[in-house]
Structures are given as structure tokens and as C-alpha cells.
Amino acid sequence: MHDHEIWSQAKRVRVWNGVDPAIFENEIKPLGQPALLKGLVSDWPMVRAGSPAALSALIIAAASDKPISYFEGAPELAGRYNYKPDFSGFNFERRTGPFAAFLDRLIDEITAPSPPSLYAGAVNVPAHAPALEQSHAMPLLAGVDERLVSLWIGNRGRAPAHWDLAQNIACVIAGRRRFTVFPTEQVANLYIGPLDVTIAGQPSSLVDFHAPDFDAFPRFRDAIAAAEIADLEPGDALYLPSLWIHHVEARDPFGVMMNFWWRDGPPHLITPFFTMLHALLTLRGMPANERQAWRAMFDHFIFEQNGDPFAHLPEHARGIFGEMTPERLQMVRERLLRTLLPRG
């Protein structure tokens, strides 16, 4: 079965036109769904550069002398960055070099019949090309100070399906991009690889989206049924809520994308992945009936499925479960550290 047949019945991400900050905050974000923001950044200078060479020159002019990290794979890789079959490593090399040299090489390989797979992901814009952040503002995040801005540059390639903790607005500058997205609950059907040894920082699916092995990954059929696809052209952007799983395909010989990550919520929040690590020491391996009892505890005290679990207590009597003041935050951290330090 060809990949276009596999995905032919997939739903499409909803398209929004003429999005402004009010529409984004009041209509799009409350839905908690991905949204294709048509033409959102079509007036950016990089989008309007006109050719890969002109765009490359614009980026180089703004670049610092700090080297970037990138992936390089053999031509037969066809841009599918992944693990080796025996999980002894990866099917590509990690390299470091000057930003300008990487871009020059990409330009030189555009017309090559079998180019190597080249990909520079998560290039930190403030560190590597600070002027670009100033000249390419994200109009929907004017009031968000804590955000991470990155560039994603390469030739044809595929980032395996993964999730990010932060919310994301991914803006296509050059080349076409296809996002195949899944709600978080599909994680059980996507056959995620190692959580702590990852291709690019986040755990990712082992399934080849162009040629899925349904014998090895039978539940992937259910993931396909829940998938949505967004095809982006230069100037388009995609909004992804936190933890939506997404497979990203760069579909042309030269592609550039800039994205903006940010989180809502109090500043003390860190990644709940640390909670999962702590759960390896506290929950996994516990008898099933005890795990189920602790699920009820978490649902009540952390996820607040029954409302405020301490509504019956005055604030001063809530202890570390009260308002997270600096003093309480320090108490929580110290208590956790004491439990993790070796005994003896």
C-alpha cells in the first residue's frame, strides 16, 4: 500500500484565515485543537525573499559566528532520521559547523539527484541569528515574554511523530511542510521508542509513516483513523496545543521553518516528565490494587476532578498544597531532594 493511500481518508486540520490576537486567544486556543493559520506570516522578509539563495543570504547576514548542530545521513536514508534496527545508535551522524557553511551546502545540493540528508533542527534564534527574531515578530504572542524561538532548516526529511511540552506556532518560510497530528491519547497506538534515549530530545514513534509495518505495529491503524493532516505552504503557520503528537515532513529540496514555543501557567512549573521518572521509584511495580488506589488520589488531589480538594480548609491550613509561594516551593524541592539522596 502506498503512503498516499494510507492517509487518503485522514481528516484535515481546520483552516483559519485572517487570524489576529483576539481570534487566537478567544476562539482558537479555547478549542484545544490544532489550527492551520493561513498566510499568518506571509509578509515576513524571509518568506518574501524569493529564492533559496536569497533566503540563505538573508539568514547568513543575520547569523552570529556560533556554530550550529545538524544531522547528516546517507542519500538512501531519504530524510527518515531514526534509530538503527538494533537500537545501538542512530542512522545518521550528528555534526557541528558554521551556520553559513551548512546553508551553502544545502544550496549546492538542491539540484543533486541523490543528495545526502541534511537537517539542522531547533537552531536557537537568539543565539545564532538574533536579528531575525526582531525582524520576524510573532503577532499572536505579543504579550508572551517567556518563549523559545527556533529555526528548522534542511532538505527533504521526516521528523518522526513526537510531542512537545510547550504550545507551538510553527511558521513555514520556504518549502512545503506536512504535519500529521494526533491527540495525546493516541500515544498507545504510536509505538513510542525509548523515553530517555531520543533522536532529537523528545520520545518518538518507531512507525514509518510512508510504509507502516502493520504486523509489527497493528494498533497503528487506530492512530491513522484519529489522525489529522495539515499541508502548509510558505507563509502559513500551524498552532499545536501542548502534547499533541506530530509527524513533520519537509517535502522540498530546501526548507526553512521558524517556530515559537511557550507555556501558560505559573512560572514554577517544570516538565511533568520528572514526575514520570519519580513514579518509577514510587508507583511502577506496586500491586495493581494499590496503583488503582493511588490513581484515585492523583485524580482528587492533583487533577482536581472533584473540584478544589481543600475547599474545606482555610489557606493557612493547606500546607504545601496551598498557594505556591516561594517559601512553599522551597519546601517542596527540599522534601523531594531528601527522598532522592542515597541513604546511609
Residues 216-240 have pLDDT tens digits of 999 999 999 999 999 999 999 999 9
Q: What is the dihedral of CA 285, 286, 292, 295, to 10 degrees?
A: -80
Residues 147-156 have pLDDT tens digits of 999 999 999 9
Residues 52-85 have pLDDT tens digits of 999 999 999 999 999 999 999 999 999 999 999 9
248 and 207 housed in the same domain: yes
Residue 2 pLDDT greater than 70, yes or no? no
Q: How many domains does the chain have?
A: 2
CATH of the domain at 83: 2.60.120.650
- pLDDT of 320 reads 86
**82 touches 90 (CB < 8 A):** yes
- Is there a domain that residue 56 lies in? yes
194 and 314 housed in the same domain: no
- What Rg do the C-alpha atoms of the chain give, in angstroms? 22
- Is there a domain that residue 194 lies in? yes
pTM of the model: 0.92
| Chain mean pLDDT for the chain | 94
* Backbone region of residue 304 per phi and psi (left: phi > 0; alpha: psi in -120 to 50; beta: other values): left
Q: Which of the four pLDDT bands, split at 50, 70 and 90, describes residue 1? A: low
123 and 52 housed in the same domain: yes
Please give the average per-residue pLDDT across 249-255, as a whole number: 97
- pLDDT of 258 reads 98
Least confident of 13-17, 289-293, 316-320: 316-320
226 and 252 housed in the same domain: yes
Q: Among 237, 262, 287, which residue terminates a domain?
A: 262
195 and 305 housed in the same domain: no
Residue 343 pLDDT greater than 80, yes or no? no
196 and 278 housed in the same domain: no
Please report where in the chains the cell 503557520 appears, as a residue: 237
Q: Among 213, 243, 262, which residue terminates a domain?
A: 262
Residues 259-284 have pLDDT tens digits of 999 998 888 888 999 899 999 989 99
146 and 18 housed in the same domain: yes
Q: Round to whole Å and give the CA distance between 192 and 15.
A: 29
- Is there a domain that residue 268 lies in? no
- pLDDT of 143 reads 82
Residues 6+ apart with CB under 8 A from 333: none
Which structural domain range is residue 335 located in? Answer: 273-340
Please give the average per-residue pLDDT across 283-290, as a whole number: 94
Q: Which of the four pLDDT bands, split at 50, 70 and 90, describes residue 90? A: very high
335 and 229 housed in the same domain: no
192 and 327 housed in the same domain: no
Q: Round to whole Å and give the CA distance between 17 and 301.
A: 41
